């Protein structure tokens, strides 16, 4: 039995649950992970990723030395064929394309080229992707650097690709985009809706609490999902809607609530506005109308509406099956309407609860890593907000841009070979070549960039296009904070020093910022931090939600913001007396179908998502032992559809859309419904996002990952790919 040198408490680097971890360290190596039973988040429970998915930290493919392209050292002009870059992934850091170098050399090259492009083309040419896996402190400094130095709001991160529709809907309806309650309050629900969330695989610890609410506390669960996910086995009611038909189903539930006078009129009259116009708009959304569109029986829609409306405490929990649509904002708004009509918001055991996908996507959003907001969701086009941050960052009055920036999807689509578009992109920890929709088009945009910097731990599919690679540290080698889906701000602690020459993200940013300011002749906006807590406190001095958060106060269990002062205990339940915008606002909705409908050529609807063993673009889990547990991509197809197409379980099949094709094995299962197929998006050798549609929600600018038309054909065994072959041939 190994005796650890030390046990380090920290926060899990995977999903938004924010489980507390104990890292058992021997000789600067984590050999075991446990969790304290008194953790308020996970009570000692961990999923397979949290317990076993840490060994990517030590993977031999991890890059721990700065690297630059050889042509930069040769002082050649940046007229290169970036389309040839992906081959370097196979050859690794020793490739003749890459040269290992000193930090000073790498950072000077980055500073020189960013400043050159900025001086030539201005703020609009500059853009940055922040990172939902990095700490609050890392993200705060990165957006500060681009806003204070390059005077641009072209700042975004993966929230644009997961819950942007939820964020916009909640901001419009209530004035706040975070979960209104905490996940553990599901134990106080007597009815709750789970929709667009395969919770047992995406947020396993929250799913445990949901099951406990049903089995031990008698709660009734309503699952609204096109797949027969595991939670259906615990549900009182399953509404298996077709992908992209959320609005008619939830509007039909609202129709029932109104027609059967199940409305909480006291709440509607005292806490909301716009109800009369909204109720009038519901006339067409009868359950029978919704059944024709969604396939959900009208009787079940009525039953679900009555269960939710008649509950004492009811809540809604949703995932990206709601938001990742070209009408994702409307889908989330339809859920908000249900809570408004019934008054199931503003009390413990109720609420509107979007389940955030990544460990710090909530925190990165809080830190201002979005094109429309400074930290604290302060609009960048508001003069008073800009003045506050100009003072905090020592920027001259009027110096910060009041122009709304480009979103993640817009940044790449605005990359141009000529002046007038995005010319330089800085990516911290993101992987758009796996996470963006329509990856063949994404590749073209990546090739159009003049200068690309990747700050990461692996040379992933996106870093393969970079000019400079800056080796950063994973969660186990850094201090800071994460903010989970509950709005709980928690400590992250280093288990051991960084490997090789890798450096902590915030230190890389500070070092680079000083070089940029020197070249531009700017007065320092303060980059001389000695601890990450200094960074957090600088942000908290302006952002009132974090004003009372200090490292001492969150040393053990964290605090749930808003924490307006140093004695405040935190705020688990929001909106108890009013909404941030004053009155909650109803918004009449129309049904807008998914951008692609099935036809004879493409008869299936593809929806995408995650599996329990893997996470997002796979940079972490596919470089860990978890890859052995789920080593290859699979497409789920219903037995009735498989029989018609002559497909057996385990057969290789080709899935084709109007944008691309992949070859992978079939899993024949009743987990999916007739006419719907499912592919996880973690696997480069069968990248689901080669198929997905890049149509955008016009308000949230989120792509339609959850519904596109595809065809399936039997394939040959030799058509199956492996990651190295795919990248070496540069297929995307």
Residue 91 has pLDDT above 90, yes or no: no
Phi (first) and psi of residue 686, to 5 degrees: -145, 65
Instruction: For 371-428, write each residue's pLDDT tens digit.
Output: 999 999 999 999 999 999 999 999 999 999 999 999 998 999 999 766 789 999 999 9
Q: In the prediction, which pLDDT does 724 show?
A: 55
- The overall average pLDDT reported for the chain is 93
Phi-psi region at 205: left, alpha or beta (left = phi > 0; alpha = psi -120 to 50): alpha
Q: Say yes or no to pLDDT of 204 above 70.
A: yes
The strand pairing partners of 608, in sequence order, are 679
Nearest to 66 by CA among 108, 38, 114: 108
Q: Where are the alpha helices (DSSP H) in 451-607?
A: 505-520, 532-540
**Beta bridge partners of residue 704, listed in sequence order:** 693
For the domain spanning 67-157+360-560, the CATH number is: 3.40.50.740
SS3 category, 279: helix
Q: Which fold has domain 164-355?
A: Dimethylsulfoxide Reductase; domain 2 (3.40.228)
Task: Assess contact for 670 and 292: CB atoms under 8 A.
Answer: no
Report CA-CA distances (Å) from 354 to 19, 183, 595, 661.
17, 10, 24, 32
**How many whole angstroms separate alpha carbon 19 and alpha carbon 49?**
11
Tell whether the model's pLDDT for residue 730 goes beyond 60.
no
Nearest to residue 560, comparing CAs of 456, 483, 479?
A: 483
CA 320 to chain centroid: 9
Cβ pair 132, 359 in contact under 8 A: yes
Range with the lowest mean pLDDT among 20-29, 79-88, 144-153, 167-176? 79-88
Beta-ladder partners of 653:
664, 714
CA count, 13 A, side-chain hemisphere, 183: 30
Residue 29 has a CB neighbour count (10 Å cut-off) of 15
What band does 75 get if pLDDT is binned at 50, 70 and 90?
Answer: low
Tokens of 233: 């086995």
What residue has token string 């009734």? Answer: 220
CA atoms of 347 and 625, how far apart (whole Å): 43
Cβ atoms of residues 74 and 38 within 8 Å: no
284 pLDDT higher than 70: yes
Q: pLDDT value at position 726? A: 52
pLDDT (0 to 100) of residue 729: 38
CATH fold, domain 604-728, is Barwin-like endoglucanases (2.40.40)
- Alpha-carbon distance of 161 to 603, in angstroms, equals 26
Q: What is the mean pLDDT of the segment spanning 103-122?
A: 97
- The three-class DSSP label of residue 75 is coil
Write down how long the chain is.
732
**How many Cβ atoms from other residues are within 10 Å of residue 60's Cβ?**
6
Sign of the torsion angle spanned by Cα atoms 620, 623, 629, 630:
positive
The pLDDT of residue 486: 96
| Per-residue pLDDT, 417 | 62
User: Residue 500's Cα: distance from chain center in Å?
Assistant: 29
- pLDDT score of 728 more than 70: no
Give alpha helix (H) positions in 311-377. 320-323, 328-342, 361-366
Q: Give the percent of the chain with pLDDT over 70.
A: 95
pLDDT of residue 158: 84
Residues paired with residue 483 on neighbouring β-strands, in sequence order:
489
Residue 88 has pLDDT above 90, yes or no: no
State the CATH class of domain 6-58. mainly beta
Quote the pLDDT of residue 357.
86
Judge whether 570 and 561 are in contact, CB under 8 Å: yes
Burial zone of 506 (CB within 10 Å; 0-12 exposed, 13-18 middle, 19+ buried):
buried
* Residue 242 Cα distances to 335, 607, 639, angstroms: 17, 10, 17
Under 8 Å between Cβ of 504 and 498: yes
Contacts of 84 (CB under 8 A, 6+ apart): 730
Q: Residue 480 region, left (φ>0) first, then alpha (ψ -120 to 50), else beta?
A: left
Domain range list for the chain:
6-58, 67-157+360-560, 164-355, 604-728
Q: What pLDDT does residue 731 have?
A: 38
pLDDT at 92 over 80: no
The answer on pLDDT for 56 being more than 50 is yes
Note the pLDDT tens digit of each residue in 143-182: 999 999 999 999 999 888 888 899 999 999 999 989 999 9
339, 331, 340, 354: which is closest to 700 by C-alpha?
Answer: 331
Mean pLDDT of 715-720: 89
Residue 83: what pLDDT? 55
DSSP states along 522-551 = PPP-----SSHHHHHHHHHTT-GGGTT--T
* Alpha helices by DSSP H, 122-181: 136-148, 164-173
Report d(CA 488, CA 536) in Å as an integer.
Answer: 15
Q: How far is Cα 707 from Cα 325, in angstroms, rounded to an integer?
A: 7
Quick: pLDDT tens for 640-662: 999 999 999 999 999 999 999 99
Q: What is the C-alpha separation between 645 and 156, in angstroms, rounded? A: 42
pLDDT at 721: 73
| CA 78 to chain centroid | 33
Q: Looking at residue 695, what DSSP letter applies? A: E
The pLDDT of residue 718 is 87
Residue 455 backbone dihedrals phi, psi, to 5 degrees? -115, 105
pLDDT for the residue numbered 90: 35
Answer whether residue 339 shows pLDDT above 90: yes
């Amino acid at each position: 039995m190994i005796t650890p040198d030390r046990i380090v408490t920290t926060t899990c680097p995977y999903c938004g649950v924010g489980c507390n971890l104990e890292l058992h360290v021997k000789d600067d190596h984590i050999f075991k992970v446990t969790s304290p039973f008194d953790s308020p988040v996970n009570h000692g429970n961990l999923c397979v990723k949290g317990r076993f998915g840490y060994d990517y930290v030590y993977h031999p493919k991890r890059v721990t030395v700065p690297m630059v392209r050889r042509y930069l050292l040769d002082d050649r002009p940046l007229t290169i064929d970036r389309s040839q870059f992906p081959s370097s992934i196979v050859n690794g850091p020793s490739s003749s394309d890459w040269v290992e170098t000193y930090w000073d050399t790498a950072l000077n090259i980055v500073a020189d080229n960013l400043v050159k492009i900025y001086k030539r083309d201005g703020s609009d040419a500059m853009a940055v992707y922040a990172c939902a896996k990095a700490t609050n402190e890392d993200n705060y400094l990165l957006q500060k650097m681009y806003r204070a130095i390059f005077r641009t709001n072209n700042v975004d991160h993966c929230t644009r690709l997961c819950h942007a529709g939820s964020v916009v809907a909640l901001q419009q309806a209530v004035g706040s985009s975070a979960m209104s309650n905490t996940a553990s309050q599901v134990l106080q629900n007597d009815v709750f809706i789970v929709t667009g969330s395969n919770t047992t695989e995406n947020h396993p610890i929250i799913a445990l609490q949901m099951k406990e609410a049903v089995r031990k506390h008698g709660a009734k669960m309503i699952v609204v999902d096109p797949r027969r996910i595991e939670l259906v086995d615990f549900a009182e009611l399953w509404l298996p809607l077709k992908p992209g038909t959320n609005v008619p189903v939830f509007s039909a539930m609202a129709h029932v609530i109104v027609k059967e006078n199940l409305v909480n009129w006291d709440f509607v009259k005292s806490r909301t506005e716009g109800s009369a116009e909204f109720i009038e708009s519901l006339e067409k959304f009868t359950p029978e109308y919704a059944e024709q569109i969604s396939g959900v029986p009208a009787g079940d829609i009525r039953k679900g509406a009555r269960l939710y409306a008649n509950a004492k405490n009811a809540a809604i929990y949703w995932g990206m099956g709601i938001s990742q649509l070209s009408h994702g904002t409307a889908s989330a708004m339809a859920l908000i309407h249900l809570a408004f009509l019934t008054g199931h918001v503003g009390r413990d055991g109720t609420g509107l609860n979007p389940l955030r996908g990544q460990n710090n996507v909530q925190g990165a959003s809080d830190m201002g890593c979005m094109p429309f907001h400074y930290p604290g969701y302060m609009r960048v086009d508001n003069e008073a907000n800009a003045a506050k941050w100009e003072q905090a960052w020592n920027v001259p009055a009027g110096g910060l841009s009041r122009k709304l920036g480009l979103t993640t999807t817009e940044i790449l689509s605005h990359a141009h070979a000529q002046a007038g578009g995005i010319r330089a992109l800085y990516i911290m920890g993101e992987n758009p070549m796996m996470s963006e929709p329509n990856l063949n088009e994404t590749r073209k945009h990546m090739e159009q960039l003049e200068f690309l910097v990747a700050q990461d731990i692996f040379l992933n599919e996106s870093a393969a296009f970079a000019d400079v690679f800056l080796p950063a540290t994973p969660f186990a080698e850094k201090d800071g904070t994460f903010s989970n889906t509950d709005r709980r701000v928690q400590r992250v602690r280093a288990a051991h020093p960084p490997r090789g020459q890798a450096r902590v993200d915030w230190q890389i940013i500070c070092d680079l910022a000083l070089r940029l300011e020197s070249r531009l002749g700017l007065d320092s906006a303060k980059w001389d931090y000695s601890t990450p807590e200094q960074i957090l406190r600088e942000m908290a001095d302006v952002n009132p939600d974090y004003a009372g958060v200090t490292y001492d106060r969150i040393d053990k269990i964290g605090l749930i913001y808003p924490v307006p002062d140093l004695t405040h205990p935190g705020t688990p339940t929001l909106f108890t007396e009013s909404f941030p915008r004053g009155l909650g606002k109803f918004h009449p909705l129309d049904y807008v179908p998914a951008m692609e409908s099935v036809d004879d050529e493409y008869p299936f609807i593809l929806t995408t998502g995650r599996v329990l063993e893997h996470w997002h673009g796979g940079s972490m889990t596919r470089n860990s032992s978890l890859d052995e547990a789920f080593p290859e991509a699979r497409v789920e197809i219903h037995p009735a559809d498989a029989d018609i197409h002559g497909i057996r379980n385990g057969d290789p099949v080709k899935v084709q859309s109007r944008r691309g094709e992949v070859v992978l094995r079939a899993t024949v299962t009743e987990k999916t419904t007739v006419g719907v197929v499912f592919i996880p998006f973690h696997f480069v050798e069968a990248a689901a996002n080669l198929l997905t549609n890049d149509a955008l929600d016009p308000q949230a600018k989120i792509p339609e990952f959850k519904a596109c038309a595809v065809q399936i054909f039997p394939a040959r065994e030799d058509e199956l790919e492996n990651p190295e072959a795919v990248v070496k041939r540069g297929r995307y």
